[in-house]
Amino acid sequence: MSMESPFTKTLLESLTNRLHGKYFSEEYDFHYDSISDAKERRRGNNPMSQEYTDRMNAKRREWGVSELGPDGLAQDGTSQKLAHEWATDLVAAHESELTRDLSVALFNEDPAGTMCKENDCDDEYDYIAASIIADPQGSGSFKTSLKAALEQSFGADILVDPRINDESIDIGERKRIANVDQAAELADKLINRVATHYIKLFEKKSE
């Protein structure tokens, strides 16, 4: 059930992108092309050294993904598919721990300001994490399920920055603060924390 939750799907997307970026970094080399390198790629030539290209292609063959094209770019999505498979297997292997991992991330962020870290109450957000993953309203969105769970436990203003009412702050700055999507920012921070933990698990397993 948790594998179908909006939180898990968002985590899988993040993990896939991270794993792909780390283990198939050659597919991003073009971002650093000089003007002359870019011209070479447009002509269908790979500006990277032959030794480097051979090494990358050997790795790709070993992992069962397509070699780089003559221009040094990916020819298809096989590497992205493999990264997604890695991410899915990783999360599935730790599915029973997802709620706890999200709770720990919430504990470290402490969005409600409960002082749980100072008081070493690392189970403070267990119930909320379980509710987020269950997504009882069927929102289909991690940000929405996160916001709903926090508001249910801590009130409708939990994700409202109190500085918007601080008249000592310039009104332009208060308007900027009011336009910040606090739920989206928190969702990104939580995914980052959990994904970082899972990447470490993947790297340890791959050693």
Neighbours of 29 (CB within 10 A): 19
**Tens digit of pLDDT per residue, the chain (207 long)?**
578 899 999 999 999 999 999 999 999 999 999 999 999 999 999 999 999 999 999 999 999 999 999 999 999 999 999 999 999 999 999 999 999 999 999 999 999 999 999 999 999 999 999 999 999 989 999 999 999 999 999 998 888 777 777 777 777 776 775 676 788 999 999 999 999 999 999 999 887
CB 178 within 8 A of CB 157: no
Question: Residue by residue, what is the 3-state secondary structure of 69-91?
Answer: CCCCCCCCCHHHHHHHHHHHHHH
pLDDT of residue 36: 96
Give the CB-side neighbour count of residue 51, counting CA atoms within 13 A: 0
Nearest-angstrom CA–CA distance, 71 and 16: 25
Positive or negative, the Cα torsion across 161, 167, 168, 172?
positive
pTM: 0.88
CB 133 within 8 A of CB 105: no
pLDDT of residue 39: 97
Nearest-angstrom CA–CA distance, 45 and 25: 19
Question: Residue by residue, what is the 3-state secondary structure of the chain?
Answer: CHHHCHHHHHHHHHHHHHHHHHHCHHHHHHHHCCHHHHHHHHCCCCCCCHHHHHHHHHHHHHCCCCCCCCCCCCCCCHHHHHHHHHHHHHHHHCHHHHHHHHHHHHHHHCCCCCCCCCCCCCCCCHHHHHHHHHCCCCCCCHHHHHHHHHHHHHCCCCCCCHHHHCCCCCHHHHHHHHCCCHHHHHHHHHHHHHHHHHHHHHHHHHC
